[in-house]
Amino acid sequence: MRLVSYNVRYFGHGLKGLASTAKSKTRIADAITGLTELPELVALQEVETKSIRARVAHRAAHPEETQIDAFLRHLSDSFARAGKVMPYRAWYFPAHTYKLGPIKFYTTGLAVLVDCQRMNVIADRSEPITHVVNERLRSVKQTRIAAHLHLENLQNQRFHLFNTHLSLPTAWAKEFWSQPQKMGFGKNQVAEAQSLAAFSAEHSKREPYLVVGDFNAAPATPVYSALTRDADLTGAQEFLKQIDPKDPRGFATAGFMHLRMHLDHVFGSRGVNFVDLQNTLPFGDKASPFFGLSDHVPLITRFELGR
């Protein structure tokens, strides 16, 4: 099976994240459609529902259309141009809404596209994993969640997918200012990683599972250690020797101006065997079909299920 995990920046990279555009949706849809081997699963981070940011530069086809609905519409058009039938259905998991009264300025959430010709969704759920350093800040702290799908493939093998987007290290902790390295060292990030690991282990019911997403944490950090050493998960890039887990800057998955960071990961439990990382290229590599489409690049891996 093949999996894509991708932070799409609300399909607004063309406007520096300020607003979603039809062009961004079309280009990402074309990049997915153009993959030689289509993935059964596409886990997306930073996906809106409905808000001013989602619609100010790209009007919906109808009032009830959400951002993931709009993207599926563009994806279907992309498949049609390629002479193919679009096989995906989307499961959307809302996380947070920034609003004033009834006006929604912008929203956050996660989504998973499933090829329903090759995969069956048994159940879905989400779990809040937000860690708040100061309770007085809870009302303004962006909610973080873990999205969960229980799946079955054509060989009747059952497994689980957990998709997430962890918080940034909080600036409200004194360690933030004394610690020279930030991403993956925040105590709030470690607490969320631990909550994610506990939720994943509990709901997988000893079946194989994957944990994917934007972790805002590099290798060789406490967050990475909490998910590998402590939670007994295996990083796909580490296992397939694409990265040195002791080098936090060896493979950039995200960029801001001239800054390059490794923030995105795919982890597997026992019973998940990673096969390859074809089409997974570092941020800024112009050979990638996803070049310039987001401030992140997708991680694309094939895996198989064992005992």
Give residue 46's domain range.
2-305
Region 209-213: what's the mean pLDDT?
Answer: 98
Q: The domain spanning residue 285 has which CATH number?
A: 3.60.10.10
Percent of the chain residues past pLDDT 70, beyond the cut = 94
The reported pLDDT for the residue numbered 62 is: 87
Region 119-125: what's the mean pLDDT?
Answer: 98
pLDDT in tens, 99-114: 888 899 999 999 999 9
Residue type, 220: A
Region 168-194: what's the mean pLDDT?
Answer: 82
Region 171-182: what's the mean pLDDT?
Answer: 68
Burial class (CB in 10 A: 0-12, 13-18, 19+), 8: buried
Checking if the pLDDT of 8 tops 90, the result is yes
Percent of the chain residues past pLDDT 90, beyond the cut = 83
The total number of structural domains in the chain stands at: 1
pLDDT in tens, 201-210: 999 999 999 9
C-beta atoms surrounding 62 within 10 Å = 7
Checking if the pLDDT of 136 tops 70, the result is no
C-beta atoms surrounding 206 within 10 Å = 9
Question: Rounded to two decimals, what is the model's pTM?
Answer: 0.95
